[in-house]
Chain A
């Protein structure tokens, strides 16, 4: 006799089905149709390519490390130190992630050029070699990506059981409690963020290209852009994916499952570190000056030199509305699927769980052009598929393909902080799984879900690689419009367009942040 599957099996099953169709199939399709025996000869990397791969590894690791060094302490500050106007401070500290990395790189080159601000202030020409270097690329990317670490660390810090810290404080000083109790318990969130930043950095070739840093990602791009050889591009992407696997495995080995037991009990209050308020405020202001105020001031300075912006800004209204609508839909769809995948991952243990983590990382690291070409191959055909192709739904499918894996990884880290015992208690009391999720689990993940949505919104809003391949003719998102306009426009216009893009993404998020803050205050 047929029995309906349990609600948990059905919901997680649907999420897995969406994940397979959106994320796995496009890549698998391209692998199947384009790989031939000859293509694998490209896997034998020459000395130059090995050097590029090494550069990429340095860029990824350096950025993950520096962004964590900046972001994780700020996460601790936001979670455990009482500060005035904290909601505003959080919003400001998170704002750099809204800046497109390429635009921050551009601001950096304006700043460090021989006629830039730094030269003017120091009274001598700066060595251009330093402006255009690997450390500069690491710095630029870290200043953009550190909010990811900050937000996920804050979420983790807020979920730690205060009783453990209180007990430790009886026998140990605060610094030691932070080092031995607080930070290890926050580690899943911190590591998930670092992994996310690593993959974002190694996928990036706009900033390295601008700062003349040679990276391996450009090899994959070249196979597409100069040779139109899909097969070679897919094969050349494999070492990049392998690099991500290695880092994910090392991260998993370092982290293990020892921290999954970290739980916050209701009714306990986390330990505060308010005596560090002054130095925390100073650090936050310093970060804001370098990561937000400086790039914005440089862009503003450039934009003010524009003679006429009318022609450039004309007709951007439709693209603006389109982008906000698509980013809202895309982020909501991504989080709606990723939350169940993250839940399933968090509740699985052992090698299966670690394998899923690696799959998430690898799929997120797949170059966007491969995803885009795979989506075209899969959906551009007659019949029901053809109805979807050529509509905005392709953009949403592209966002799902690109960002479900990384959002699921982040939400898995968040789910780990929700005790399994809460679900068990609910089940014993007779609550169904859906009710338990709605009333017990998801409310405890509220902050994590909001953070994941904001990060997904930002990623979706700025997505270009897939969008440019699948956007319906006649329509464009704001980033596509900006990037197709900036060629052959003066740098002042480019700066003005960048500021417009930042404003468009910042305003709705600020309004959302303000609304959430008001609700929390009530």
Chain B
């Protein structure tokens, strides 16, 4: 027969005790309960972590950050925010591209906040309703292997990649995810469905290699496995700084325009630390943060006038950026996910 002292074997008791011990290690130091802010960050950790550390030092506020992973780029955190919507844990969402932010806005996860530091940022990159504010932008670029492609042969438009001469030599990240999903949504919004469907059919005929991330595209190009690829400025810059034979061109600078992707920062609806959240957003939208991101390997283009840009990247007033209705582009994501899976055989 059972007696209370015999209910659990010893090792089970130990396991439960360990669970209890670990469970009680709350992540938030109780003494800092009022001086804490929680931020979910989908911008690459190597770039965003130093910025947040600096804020901790300057403000004395404990920043609890959750970063996205390479595997779930811009997806794990958005899902987490959606799942936590009824009882939010995050105060701020810092996204590295527009689509996820706009999805979260449409699902009522975000709250409106107009930061005084948004002054000076181009109007097109600030939500008129205040649910998001853009800062420090990246661009989608064509990366090429400098050993394999002569300067005169470098494609200047993404539509050049439909040329059969690039057969078997093109790579791009899966267009259903991350910044590539933004890029294709923008292209469909501007160029129209028919033209873009034809373009992706041509890419398929050219044996485009669809890989699982922009950094993989960069590595394939840098290694010479393919000659050209579509990726982001920061990915290419890391390889350039590392001495690899790779360079980039801004595509369509005279046509559709160069796809510009701002970071976006948003306040979470019913954020547990609303006041600290607003202060952190103000900091992220400061010219100082834009300067830091421009000078880092992220080579992001400042949106505030007068902030010096990164050394190898043209400033935003020297080329034609894509003019885009971000909300309209984001609304195409679901349709394009199915469409491109069929065209590209994903």
Contacts and interface: CB of A to CB of B under 8 A. Distances in A.
A111 B239 CA distance: 19
Interface in B294-346: 297-298, 333-334, 337, 341-342, 345-346
- Among B19, B174, B211, B239, chain A packs the most CB atoms within 10 A around the CB of B19
Contacts of B73: 487
A486 to B, nearest CB: 6
A354 interface: no
Interface stretch (A189-197, A252-260, A273-281, A381-389): A381-389
B84 A380 contact: yes
Interface string A360-375: 0000000001001100
Nearest to A432: B6
Given A393-B23, A473-B90, A228 B82 contact: yes
B22 A386 contact: no
Contacts of B66: 471, 473-474
B280 to A, nearest CB: 13
- Among B24, B69, B211, chain A packs the most CB atoms within 10 A around the CB of B69
Interface in A151-175: none
Interface string B192-228: 0000000000000000011111011001000111000
A428 interface: no
Contacts of A329: 15, 18-19, 22
Given A225-B177, A484-B67, A486-B70, A472 B27 contact: yes
B103 interface: yes
Interface in B82-100: 82-84, 86-87, 89-90
Contacts of B238: 488-490
Contacts of B68: 468, 484
Given A228-B107, A382-B87, A10 B7 contact: yes
Contacts of B213: 487
Contacts of A475: 27
Nearest to A476: B67
Interface stretch (B38-46, B122-130, B159-167, B263-271): B38-46
B22 A393 contact: yes
Contacts of A48: 341-342, 345
Nearest to A314: B49
Contact of A391 (B23, B65, B69, B103): B23
B57 interface: no
A212 B79 contact: no
A115 interface: yes
B235 interface: yes
A191 B22 CA distance: 35
Given A7-B6, A336-B15, A474-B65, A392 B87 contact: no
Nearest to A385: B87
Nearest to B174: A209
Chain A, interface size category, equals: 35 or more
A69 interface: no
Given A212-B210, A380-B89, A225 B72 contact: yes
Contact of A396 (B22, B176, B215, B337): B22
B64 interface: yes
Interface in A76-127: 102, 113-115
B7 A11 contact: yes
A396 B19 contact: yes
Contact of B297 (A227, A337, A488): A488
A469 B25 contact: no
Interface residues of B, number: 86
Nearest to B79: A224
Interface in A226-249: 226-228, 230
A390 B80 CA distance: 12
Interface in A294-337: 307, 311-312, 325-326, 328-329, 332-333, 336-337
A128 to B, nearest CB: 6
Contacts of A332: 11, 14-15, 18
B325 to A, nearest CB: 20
B26 A472 contact: yes
A487 B45 contact: yes
B297 A386 contact: no
B3 interface: yes
A333 B65 contact: no
A468 B181 contact: no
Interface in A481-495: 483-492
B16 to A, nearest CB: 8
A269 to B, nearest CB: 30
Contacts of B45: 484-485, 487
Contacts of A434: 6, 9
A354 to B, nearest CB: 27
Nearest to B336: A226
A497 to B, nearest CB: 11
Given A113-B223, A373-B83, A392 B25 contact: yes
A480 B212 CA distance: 18
Interface string B174-193: 10110001000000000000
A381 B87 contact: yes
Nearest to B25: A392
A353 interface: no
B258 interface: no
A402 interface: no
A476 B45 CA distance: 12
Given A222-B337, A487-B73, A212 B209 contact: yes
Contact of B69 (A113, A483, A488, A492): A483
A393 B65 contact: no
B209 A226 contact: no
Given A7-B1, A228-B103, A393 B9 contact: no
A473 B346 contact: no
B19 A488 contact: no
Contacts of B337: 222, 226-227
A230 to B, nearest CB: 8
B1 A376 contact: no
Contacts of B78: 228
Nearest to A399: B19
A227 B337 CA distance: 8
Contacts of B342: 48
11 contacts: A11-B8, A222-B337, A377-B83, A388-B23, A390-B89, A392-B27, A393-B22, A473-B65, A484-B44, A484-B68, A488-B238
Given A337-B12, A480-B69, 19 more contacts: A7-B6, A7-B7, A115-B223, A222-B177, A225-B176, A225-B177, A312-B46, A391-B26, A396-B22, A468-B80, A469-B79, A469-B83, A472-B28, A473-B66, A484-B70, A485-B46, A486-B70, A488-B297, A490-B244
Interface of A: 3-7, 9-11, 14, 48, 102, 113-115, 128, 132, 206, 209-210, 212, 214, 218, 222, 224-228, 230, 307, 311-312, 325-326, 328-329, 332-333, 336-337, 369, 372-373, 376-377, 380-382, 386, 388-393, 396, 432, 434, 437-438, 464, 468-469, 471-476, 480, 483-492
